[in-house]
Amino acid sequence: MYIVTGGAGFIGSVVVWRLNQAGIDDIVIVDDLGSSDKWKNIRQLRYADYVQRDAFLRMLEEDALPWPLTAVLHMGACSNTTERNAEFLIRNNFKYSQTLCRFALRRGARFINASSAATYGDGSQGFSDRLDRLRSLIPLNMYGYSKHLFDLWLAREDLLGQAVSLKFFNVYGPNEYHKGSMRSVICKAWHEINANGRLHLFRSNHPDYPDGGQLRDFIYVKDCAEIIWWFLSQYSGGGIYNAGTGVARSWNDLAHAVFLAMGRETRIEYVDMPEEFGCGYQNFTQADMDWLARLHCPVSMRSLEDGAHDYVCRYLAKPSPYLAS
């Protein structure tokens, strides 16, 4: 049995989709659907059971899971970079992850965790996933810190030979529609361009970057799922690894890619960045992806233009934009 936490969420539901593509449906989805539209992400996917998050945690604590366990793919977390409740983030993103990792490894199962590029902070320490750089990182927000704490814990407990933690950079793609303000700019852009024929981007808050010229490493969610599948099916070791394209692109590049995919003329207007974003804003991210060659991983990431075209034309422009098995 494969357990996917956050399996009704963005990356998690795409991981379930990738498992389905491999002919796997012995999957338990763990999530907290609440009153959100996350349920729509899984209605066309194949899985054996759904367990609510808190009920699942109780099962873990009582060692009462009834299934033989192959792997735990831990994609569940609060990913809101503006969340201020530190106690909640520690409990939800750090302590819960510890409990789940211990359980999986005790059962002899693979454990793959979703970390984040937010752990790199302002990027002044670079974006290398080498272990000797881990302790020098200073995240800019509490979300990034909660993810960093778990990576540090894996290293401190000497578990990196058994567990994989993937630092996802700017992920975009189908099944993110429930995320509200945390949806990717590509998703927001498609709706704004359809409604108004133009796109708003933030003015720069740093003299080194022009308006819309802030640089991010944008990775398509299908490529994230492909990386996870490779670690699950082809690589038995562990470690902390980046999940990005290795190429930084500007928000202006992203805007042009969306307008191009929509067959529209590019029209961008710049607006001031909200104050709550200013001190925690990453103006540059670019994943060091040297591990691909080092581990002989054949996964190839889409360019921003190819990813935007697939997302816009195969999903956003369709009546039902969700992935299906």
* Residue that the structure tokens 């975009």 belong to: 172
Amino acid present at 58? R
Residue 309: the pLDDT is 98
Residue 282: the pLDDT is 81
Q: Closest by alpha carbon to 122, among 242, 282, 246?
A: 282
Residue 79: the pLDDT is 77
Residue 280: the pLDDT is 63
* Per-residue tokens: 161: 């030979």
Residue 33: the pLDDT is 94
Residue 72: the pLDDT is 98
Amino acid present at 299? V
Residue 268: the pLDDT is 98
Q: pLDDT-based confidence at 18, cuts 50/70/90?
A: very high
Active-site annotation, residues: 143, 179
Residue 278: the pLDDT is 58
Of 78-87, 92-101, 178-187, 224-233, the poorest mean pLDDT is in 78-87
**The three-state (H, E, C) secondary structure of the chain, written as one string:** CEEEECCCCHHHHHHHHHHHHCCCCCEEEEECCCCCCCHHHHCCCCCCEEEEHHHHHHHHHCCCCCCCCCEEEECCCCCCCCCCCHHHHHHHHHHHHHHHHHHHHHCCCEEEEEEEHHHHCCCCCCCCCCHHHHHHCCCCCHHHHHHHHHHHHHHHCCCCCCEEEEEECEEECCCCHHHHHHCCHHHHHHHHHHHHCCEEEECCCCCCCCCCCCEECEEEHHHHHHHHHHHHHHCCCCEEEEECCCCCEEHHHHHHHHHHHHCCCCCEEEECCCHHHHCCCCCECCCCCCHHHHCCCCCCCCCHHHHHHHHHHHHHCCCCCCCCC
**How much is the pTM?**
0.95
pLDDT digits (tens, 9 = 90+) for 23-74: 999 999 999 999 999 999 999 999 999 999 999 999 988 988 888 999 999 9
- Which residues, at least 6 apart from 104, have a Cβ–Cβ distance to it below 8 Å? 69, 71, 72, 110, 111, 163
Residue 84: the pLDDT is 81
Residue 281: the pLDDT is 77
Residue 287: the pLDDT is 98
For the stretch 245-279, what's the b/e string if a residue is b when 16 or more beta carbons lie within 10 angstroms of its beta carbon?
bbebbbbbbbbbbbbebbeeeeebebeeeeeeeee
Residue 254: the pLDDT is 98
What is the C-alpha separation between 304 and 36, in angstroms, rounded? 29
Task: Average the pLDDT over 296-325 and give the result.
Answer: 97
Residue 140: the pLDDT is 87
User: What is the set of domains in the chain, with CATH numbers?
Assistant: 2-173+217-246+285-302 (3.40.50.720)
What is the C-alpha separation between 178 and 207, in angstroms, rounded? 34
Task: Average the pLDDT over 192-212 and give the result.
Answer: 95
Q: What is the percent of the chain with per-residue pLDDT over 70, rounded to a whole number? A: 99
Residue 61: the pLDDT is 87
pLDDT digits (tens, 9 = 90+) for 76-127: 988 777 778 889 899 889 999 999 999 999 999 999 999 999 999 989 899 9
Mean pLDDT of the chain: 95
Residue 81: the pLDDT is 75
- Count CB-CB contacts under 10 A for residue 110: 21
Residue 47: the pLDDT is 98
pLDDT digits (tens, 9 = 90+) for 257-295: 999 999 999 999 999 988 877 566 788 999 999 999 999
